[in-house]
Amino acid sequence: GAGVSQSPRYKVAKRGQDVALRCDPISGHVSLFWYQQALGQGPEFLTYFQNEAQLDKSGLPSDRFFAERPEGSVSTLKIQRTQQEDSAVYLCASSLDLSSNTEAFFGQGTRLTVV
């Protein structure tokens, strides 16, 4: 079956513009995670869902960041009024459950550039 799919792969936004990033997880995966990866750094946790419930959003850097997963499958990460420091690769990952040793499968990411 298909892996985790993210779209768009690349997004250029003007400062102040709103953007929406989409993640299609592997079918049947309960858990979904969003990470932010700055250039030359490791991914940093943003938020995660168990089905449609957002259980932890402690990593979201500001109230301009919002994530949803209304039907427990596809998820959208929305960034309002983008700023230059939001430029990064946004990674989505899914896993079968929330166990701490379950493999997470990652998408290829969306590279956001704010100009």
Partner 1 sequence: GNSVTQMEGPVTLSEEAFLTINCTYTATGYPSLFWYVQYPGEGLQLLLKATKADDKGSNKGFEATYRKETTSFHLEKGSVQVSDSAVYFCALTSSGNTGKLIFGQGTTLQVKP
Can you give the binding site for partner 1, defined by CB under 8 A? 3-4, 31, 33, 35, 40-45, 48, 55-56, 91, 93, 95, 97-104, 106-109
Cα–Cα distance between 39 and 70 in angstroms, integer? Answer: 30
Nearer to partner 1, 82 or 95 (CB): 95
Nearer to partner 1, 84 or 100 (CB): 100
Which whole-number Å values give the CA distances from 91 to 26, 40, in the listed order? 14, 14
Torsion 15-55-68-107 (CA) sign: positive
> In whole angstroms, how close is the CB of 81 to partner 1 at the nearest point?
27
